Structure 1
Amino acid sequence: MQKRPLKKILGTLAAAIGLAGSLAASAADPLKVGFVYVGPIGDHGWTYQHEQGRKALEAQMGDKIKTSYVENVAEGADAERVIRDMAKDKYDLIFTTSFGYMNPTVKVAKQFPKVIFEHATGYKQDKNLGTYLARTYEGRYVGGFLAAKMTKSKKIGYVASFPIPEVIRDINAIQLALNKYNPGTEMKVVWVNSWFDPGKEADAANALVDQGVDVIFQHTDSPAPIQTAERRGVYAVGYASDMAHFGPKAVLTSIVNNWAPHYIASTQAVLDGTWKSQDYWGGLNDGTVELPISDVVPADVKAEAEKLIASIKSGEFKPFTGPIKDQTGAVKIAAGASASNAELASMNYYVEGITAQMPK
């Protein structure tokens, strides 16, 4: 029997101990969670709220995770590069937070099957790619109710970003409420083709007020439309975060996105090894959408709005319940039927009552 030198035996033993120690350290390594943001974390809107969600996730998980983010990432090729760099850097879970990141996320997810991805507001899933979004249209419908009650001119304005399904269905939700609670009220839409451009957003809001609008909604990320409404003496509805402090005399409510519960639940699922791809829709009922109604709203109107919110939370009322027709009068949702998630996710038409033409 061949004898091994003592030095070699000790060396082999040391290597084995080193490997075991390395594996133990690896097992204890924190989960790496990355976030890709379309705007600056200080936009006071969409990206700001995702950043609050990331901070809440860190506070909840402590040293079990390590997070980081990249802000101001343009949709398209730049997004693909940033997402791929995170995947190469051995991130375990990556959240991509803008509609225009959908195809880049899909592409990178296929290239890194061991990394888990979640994309906000999109509709494409894979084994390692899930989607999540907020039912902001629930809040928009309540905002439309408030606008219907508060308008004097019967002209409502909307500062819009891009004509994607999320924006279209939110505009439609407002119009449905206007049709019910103040028939004949007109919705004017100005497209700025940007998520975050305070100058363009302010110009759009001013143009709407010049046309007689006395309640302004926005689907953009800065508080500029709110500040314009405050300055011009009209009402406004904030978006993504509570914008009341930017327009204390103007803001009726804000459709607030609270992403923390979803970020915590998804990250915990990854840690537990139970994560599965899903199409998650959070709304008023689970706190993903919040509606702080300001004291600018009269008490009786506020009480009615709270009842409406309660009926949406309970599932008794769903804003997109038929019959719903498009601008041409064609029935899109049959009487008594409620729009499915698939129908909501692909909405590409204006409802009856909107006279504006959708951009191509």
Structure 2
Amino acid sequence: MLKKGWVIVLSLLVVVTVACSKKEEVSPSPSSSEPVASVPASSSPSASPSASASASEMPLPKVAFVYIGVAGDGGWTYQHDQGRLEMEKEFGIKSTVVENVPEGPDAERVFEDLAKENDIIIGTSFGYMDSMIAVAAKHPDKIFLHNTGYKTADNLGTYMGREYQSGYLVGMTAGKMTKNKKIGYVAAFPIPEVVYTINAFTLGAQSVNPDVEVSVVWSNTWFDPTVERQAAVSLLDKGVDVLAAYQDSPASIQAAAEKKVWGIGNDSDMGKYAPDTYLTNNVWDWGPYYIDTVKKYMAGTWKSESYWGPMSTGITSLAPFGKNVPQDVRDLVEAKKKEIIDGTFEVFQGPITDQAGKVHGEAGKPLADEEILSTNWFVKGVSGTIPQ
């Protein structure tokens, strides 16, 4: 279930972008079964299905969302649903939602049915990519938005946020809170989105605690509390005193709380699940993006692009700190957050050394988006491998 995944360029590649650059309608050369993220894209207004219509001609659109899970997952899908509700409130409309849609033939059928009745169709899982491309080709007068994919078309765009920026801040928090320098990380799938977020997390931890070791285990799930708990316990049994996770369920931080170990959630503020041991985590706010899409549709200015938004847009951010995070730690992280938002600090700035001792990037220069989006290596300090 490669829900959010980013892309793997035959080793891993990922999606989307906030800046604007050239649209790619063909994958950068990842394998057909692996996720990738593309660089920001733009296209001419004439390519948009709504470009020829004036704002006065465009009524409020009918919008449909397809979810890989349920809004009650407390993480990824929950945040998308909050964004959907924000959009509904803004325009006074009622959108259509289809939950628990598996990737594959069933997804294509769902998208086809929705395209017959809606103007904007949004899919929030990486694995929907080929289904959406196929259906979009049959309905050139409709707009399709794919979260985390890398394939685009004249009427299909992709979108995502630079969560590695918030991931760095979460790592700083973990690095300050660990006592034995052993941090665990329950990872979802070995795709660039996950890999580069773990790298950013580790770099953040090392920036305040150079000798930190981050041990990674793979759950190969997006939402399976039982499996994710088992993975968490395997790390807790190794003695980690901070545990992070990259899944939709709070199973990992709940397991950590039972051992009185600091826990870090994912996607949505998960502090309520382990109030005494919770630190923080990255969070998403999709509402502004959905609202902007509807406005562009109504104005006749929407065009396909690959959007990869930075923290400065608010699409990705940091959840409130847990009640037991010291003030000095909060202040330190908030100061770095300001630098990231201001653009005065780059998370992936060379030289960066990986596990094998290879150096990535030039001294003093940030890695190019293409390199970040094709990350298939762990930074030095990560204990674990990336399945091929």
TM-score, reference length from structure 2: 0.82
Distance 1:43 1:221 in 2: 6
Tell me what 1:14 maps to: none
**2:145 matches 1:101:** no
Distance 1:204 1:355 in 2: 15
Structure with more of its chain in helix, by fraction = 1
User: For 1:290, what is the secondary structure of its paired residue?
Assistant: strand
User: For 1:239, what is the secondary structure of its paired residue?
Assistant: coil
Correspondence for 1:287 among 268, 289, 314: 314
Cα drift, residue 344 of structure 1 = 2.2
Deviations 1:13-35 (A, max 9, x none): xxxxxxxxxxxxxx786411111
Deviations 1:306-352 (A, max 9, x none): 10100001000011111113222222222122123322222222122
Distance 2:370 2:118 in 1: 30
Distance 1:60 1:183 in 2: 46
Tell me what 1:304 maps to: 332
Correspondence for 2:64 among 28, 31, 34: 34
- Structure 1 residues 107, 325: closer, same or farther in 2, change over 3 A? farther
User: For 1:240, what is the secondary structure of its paired residue?
Assistant: coil
Tell me what 2:193 maps to: 166
The percentage of counterpart residues that share the same residue type is: 47
Cα drift, residue 270 of structure 1 = 0.9
Count matched residues. 331
Distance 2:281 2:169 in 1: 10
Tell me what 2:379 maps to: 351
Distance 2:120 2:236 in 1: 44
Correspondence for 1:245 among 255, 272, 295: 272
Unaligned 5+ residue runs, structure 2? 1-56
TM-score, reference length from structure 1: 0.88
Any residues of structure 2 matched to 1:232-271 within 5 Å, and which?
232-271=259-298
Residue identity in the other structure for 1:226? I
Tell me what 2:246 maps to: 219
Distance 2:329 2:183 in 1: 18
Q: Which has the higher contact order (CA 8 A, sep 6+)?
A: 2
Deviations 1:107-147 (A, max 9, x none): 22222221111111122222111111121111110111111
Distance 1:221 1:91 in 2: 28
Cα drift, residue 244 of structure 1 = 0.6
Distance 1:86 1:255 in 2: 31
Distance 1:233 1:113 in 2: 54
Distance 2:165 2:122 in 1: 24
Distance 1:327 1:28 in 2: 54
Tell me what 2:103 maps to: 75
Unaligned 5+ residue runs, structure 1? 1-26
Distance 1:104 1:349 in 2: 29
Tell me what 2:91 maps to: 61
Distance 1:320 1:104 in 2: 33
Moved more, 335-344 or 231-240: 335-344
Correspondence for 2:206 among 164, 179, 200: 179
Cα drift, residue 220 of structure 1 = 0.6
Retained in 2: the 8 A contact 1:325–1:333? no
Cα drift, residue 260 of structure 1 = 0.5
Tell me what 1:136 maps to: 163
Residue identity in the other structure for 2:69? G
Structure with more of its chain in strand, by fraction = 1
Moved more, 281-290 or 36-45: 281-290
